[in-house]
Amino acid sequence: MRPYDPDSLHIYDTTLRDGTQQEGLSLSVGDKLSVARHLDDLGVGFIEGGWPGSNPKDAEFFARARTELTLTTAVLTAFGATRRAGRVAADDPQVAALREAGTAVVCLVAKSDLRHVERALRTSPDENLAMIRDTVAHLRAEGKRVFLDAEHFFDGYRAHPEYALDVVNVAAEAGAEVVVLCDTNGGMLPTRVGAVVAEVLAGTGARLGIHCHDDADCAVANTLVAVEAGVTHVQGTANGYGERCGNANLLSVIAGLETKLGRAALPPGLLRELVRVSHAIDEVTNSVPDPHRPYVGASAFAHKAGLHASAVKIDPDMYQHIDPAAVGSDMRMLVSELAGRATIELKGRELGLDLSNEREALGRVVDLVKEREATGFAYEAAEASFELLLRDEVTGRQRFYSLESWRVIVEQRSDGQVVSEATVKLTSHGVRHVATAEGNGPVNALDTALRDALEKAYPGLADLELVDYKVRILDGKQGTGAVTRVLVGTSDGRSRWDTIGVDENIIAASWSALEDAVNFGLRRQGERADPNAT
């Protein structure tokens, strides 16, 4: 791998500007400051903070960043447009906002497609070039480093290549450090991107960057191909946030640069922060992490098929394109009806169980999993329930109580209020417990009653909280008589686990999942099992 040199390959993040154009994504100024800190922790070279001349929020961000944001690796950048037609850059209010943002770097956007110049800007080709020349030269004279985003470059180059090249040459001659070729509509394919970059480099000699949108599902590939063709400045957004189909996922680009192309994109040792930073930014933006994201997703190094697991047991590299640890991830084994002995053995290893000499137990577990998944269980979504099943077969069944009965009553009262009441009767360590509780639904009432009945024997149950509840009808053709799958998420304030129940009766399925959740939680807390529990 080439030595790390932040100037030889720019890693430029535009999450706080282009990423926030994603539908449904809105960040407060505090959120933007938090995301910037996470990006700086990762070691990116540039963070585009927003467009200070376009809205009060971005203006506030740059004002607060001067006193609240201390960056160790990244350089904060302000984004804006070239001066308006018929004006002078020094007198343009928007250019003034860029000067006053207080950043060492300014990134300007300019039209490079002749059709956009004439139809969107409604100005002449020569005036557009003058706008670029005047604005770049003015900001350079003010001591700013200037990058220029050549918007719609690839479409413009296809329609009017001479004019697109004029934009690059004028910007570079005026002092732009980098001219960024933008696939604004996101429709380019890798082979064409590589060819255009090579032609532009040969025709201009300018330092080039690349900015790709993902409308053809090629943004990351297009970015990497552009680097191979000679680009030395890459733009993208964390987790691929962005308008329409999103931008190039900068985290995937970084991983590809380092692990595939041998380019040092981050300071040494920071690539393994990729997963943590991805999830941290999802948390700030209130986005649900996509488990199937390359490199950083929970499923990126998850193996389900038995054939794959057998090979992974011999050599993990046989079904993994990189070492997961390189990006801060880990290999996971998924248990399902596709599982074989190798899958179960590797999963046991994850749980701290050496099953290499437990051939009979492995066979029983494989058979049980296949049998139960045929009836509707899905253990890959409920690893706590699988762990209970595995430990029961390998180390012996452990339970903390014997159930006598449970009952739920749903009542609509005269005032229209609907109340659920559950009663649970059980015995733990020779003591019979009966608890009745009300809830805002039958499952909530059952959960409360179960824990009320057990808390005297196991006070640690007070830390457990039901945090998620999902129901799926497995065969809709059966109507109300269909088999129901229930997934329950439980937390003790430090970690979370998921359990499953399947039954024709939704309450019975819910009870099964709740029982697994409580039993798993008590095991995790190291509580003493009841040797007489059944």
pLDDT tens-digit readout, 81-117 = 999 999 999 999 999 999 999 999 999 999 999 999 9
DSSP count for the chain of H helices, then E strands: 17, 16
Residue 450 has pLDDT above 80, yes or no: yes
Residue 438 has pLDDT above 60, yes or no: yes
Q: Which of 187-196, 399-408, 410-419: highest mean pLDDT?
A: 187-196
Label residue 363 by pLDDT band (50, 70, 90).
confident
pTM to 2 decimal places: 0.71
Q: What count of Cα atoms within 13 Å lies in the side-chain half-sphere of residue 60?
A: 10
* Residue in the block written with tokens 């039993």: 519
Which amino acid belongs to residue 289?
P
Instruction: Compute the average pLDDT of residues 218-244.
Output: 98
pLDDT tens-digit readout, 176-228 = 999 999 999 999 999 999 999 999 999 999 999 999 999 999 999 999 999 99
pLDDT at 338: 46
Residue 419 has pLDDT above 60, yes or no: yes
What does the alpha-carbon distance between residue 190 and residue 478 come to, in Å, rounded to a whole number? 48
What does the alpha-carbon distance between residue 13 and residue 17 come to, in Å, rounded to a whole number? 9
Residues pairing with 212 in the sheet = 183
- Domains assigned to the chain: 10-285 (3.20.20.70), 302-395 (no CATH), 402-525 (3.30.160.270)
Residue 157 has pLDDT above 70, yes or no: yes
Label residue 4 by pLDDT band (50, 70, 90).
confident
pLDDT at 533: 84
345 or 383, higher pLDDT? 383
Strands 145-151 and 105-111 turn out to be parallel
Q: Which of 81, 97, 208 is nearest to 135 (CA)?
A: 81
Mean model confidence pLDDT for the chain: 89
Q: What count of Cα atoms within 13 Å lies in the side-chain half-sphere of residue 461?
A: 21
pLDDT tens-digit readout, 26-61 = 999 999 999 999 999 999 999 999 999 888 999 999
